[in-house]
């Protein structure tokens, strides 16, 4: 049932997107866009396959009890800080970070900590900031952006803690 | 992307090797779990990619540049937050677009909000990676927790700059 709803949502998104494109730019743009998506799928597929294996190995190898103690629901502020630092130190794009996130989630890391982790990875990731942001945007904007981003992963994690209590998990797991 | 793929598979190899020496029966279970996940993705991922691709082409860059350059104060911060969320693509695509906005007169506070929003909300990343891999509950809670961050960042940046 849940998967049926998900498929419906994804199908609707694809149809709405392509229909809007058709209305604005005609059939040629739709074909171009679909071909581009097909190419991206071929690029992403081997990556996703690897990601699924990484997350499956982590799920079976990592001790759930130890993870739950360090990074579970009861881990408090220390857990949030660990997640924040780990996120900032994780290099690479979503292809590198999300296999880890899936693996951590299944190994018992709490959802709010993963929200903090993803937020820290996307905002404080040193690699992206130094390799792309600094050279292209210049140091003025980059330094200000980085400074104001420092507290944000913790804020997101604390909000997520509230929301998790408001929206209890029906089935569990991704 | 190629470097990322190679890195992930090197990681798979290392994990497999480690697992083999700890408990060699683990590989079969791993394949079973991965296969279950793959079956779900086989339909979701192509649809997500179609949607994300169309979104990229619909986005009106010049319109955003004009709006952002003309706005000021909190209005600019809010506009930056909204535009950042729908900017598609990775850093190689996005940061040059941000430079374009800078040149058309956008000030630092809206741009900080925009980059923050693009980082945490990134609609294309949600569609391609997060939604198919993590499911709607996770994504819903994460996005709801992050939606206030870009305005906070923009306002803080405005205060820092006086």
> pLDDT tens digits for B137-160?
999 999 999 999 999 999 999 999
Residue of B nearest to A131 (CA): B91
The answer on A29 and A77 residing in a single domain is no
Whole-number Å distance between alpha carbons of A144 and A74: 34
* B5 → closest Cβ in A6, A47, A140: A47
Last residue of a domain, one of A15, A39, A61: A61
Lowest mean pLDDT among A13-17, A52-56, B155-159: A52-56
Whole-number Å distance between alpha carbons of A109 and A73: 8
Whole-number Å distance between alpha carbons of A133 and B91: 8
Range of the domain at B90: 59-160
* B133 → closest Cβ in A7, A98, A145: A98
Say which residue, B123 or B81, is predicted with more confidence: B81
What mean pLDDT comes out for the span A58-83? 80
* Percentage of the residues of chain B whose pLDDT score is greater than 90: 36
What mean pLDDT comes out for the span A29-57? 85
Per DSSP, B129 falls in state I
Last residue of a domain, one of A15, A33, A61: A61
- What pLDDT does residue A52 have? 81
Query: Which residues does chain A have within 8 Å of residue B9's beta carbon, measured at their own beta carbons?
Result: 46, 50
Q: Which residue has the tokens 């906005």?
A: B101
Taking the alpha carbons at both ends of chain A, their separation in whole angstroms is 15
Lowest mean pLDDT among A50-54, B16-20, B27-31, B55-59: B55-59
Residue B105 phi, psi (nearest 5): 100, 5
Mutate which: A145, A161, A162, A165, vs B, most B CBs within 10 A: A145
Whole-number Å distance between alpha carbons of A107 and A101: 10
Following CA atoms A95, A98, A100, A105 in sequence, which dihedral angle do they give, to the nearest 10 degrees? -170
> pLDDT tens digits for A152-166?
999 999 999 999 988
The answer on A128 and A163 residing in a single domain is yes
User: Per the domain annotation, does B4 fall within a domain?
Assistant: no
The answer on A133 and A96 residing in a single domain is yes
Residue A90 phi, psi (nearest 5): -75, 115
Last residue of a domain, one of A46, A61, A76: A61
* B145 → closest Cβ in A148, A163, A174: A163
The answer on A36 and A93 residing in a single domain is no
* Percentage of the residues of chain A whose pLDDT score is greater than 90: 37
Radius of gyration of chain B (CA): 20
- What pLDDT does residue B70 have? 76
Domain count, chain A: 2
Domain count, chain B: 1
Range of the domain at A15: 1-61
Whole-number Å distance between alpha carbons of A52 and B35: 8
Say which residue, A147 or B39, is predicted with more confidence: A147
Q: Say whether A40 and B50 touch across the interface (CB within 8 A).
A: no
Provide the ipTM.
0.75
Structure tokens, B20: 């083999």
The answer on A104 and A37 residing in a single domain is no
The answer on A108 and A52 residing in a single domain is no
């Amino acid at each position: 049932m849940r998967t049926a709803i998900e498929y419906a949502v994804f199908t609707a998104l694809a149809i709405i997107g392509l229909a809007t494109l058709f209305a604005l730019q005609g059939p040629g743009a739709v074909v171009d866009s679909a071909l581009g998506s097909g190419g991206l799928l071929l690029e992403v597929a081997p990556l996703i396959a690897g990601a699924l294996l990484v997350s499956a190995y982590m799920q079976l190898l990592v001790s759930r009890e130890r993870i739950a103690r360090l990074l579970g629901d009861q881990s408090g502020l220390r857990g949030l800080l660990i997640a924040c630092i780990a996120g900032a130190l994780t290099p690479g794009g979503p292809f590198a970070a999300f296999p880890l996130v899936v693996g951590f989630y299944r190994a018992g890391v709490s959802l709010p900590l993963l929200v903090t982790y993803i937020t820290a990875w996307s905002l404080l990731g040193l690699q992206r900031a130094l390799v792309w942001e600094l050279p292209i945007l210049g140091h003025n904007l980059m330094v200000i952006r980085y400074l104001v981003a420092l507290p944000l992963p913790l804020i997101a994690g604390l909000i997520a803690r509230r929301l998790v209590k408001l929206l209890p998990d029906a089935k569990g797991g991704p | 992307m190629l470097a990322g793929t190679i890195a992930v598979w090197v990681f798979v190899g290392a994990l497999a090797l480690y697992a083999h020496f700890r408990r060699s029966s683990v590989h079969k279970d791993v394949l079973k779990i991965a296969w279950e996940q793959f079956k779900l993705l086989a339909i979701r991922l192509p649809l997500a990619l179609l949607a994300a691709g169309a979104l990229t082409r619909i986005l009106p860059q010049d319109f955003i540049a004009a709006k952002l350059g003309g706005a000021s104060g909190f209005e600019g911060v809010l506009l930056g937050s909204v535009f950042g969320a729908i900017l598609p693509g990775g850093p190689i695509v996005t940061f040059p677009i941000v430079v374009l906005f800078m040149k058309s007169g956008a000030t630092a506070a809206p741009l900080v909000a925009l980059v923050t929003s693009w980082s945490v909300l990134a609609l294309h990343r949600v569609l391609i990676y997060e939604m198919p891999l993590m499911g709607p509950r996770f994504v819903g809670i994460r996005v709801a927790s992050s939606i206030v961050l870009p305005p906070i960042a923009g306002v803080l940046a405005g205060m820092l700059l006086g």
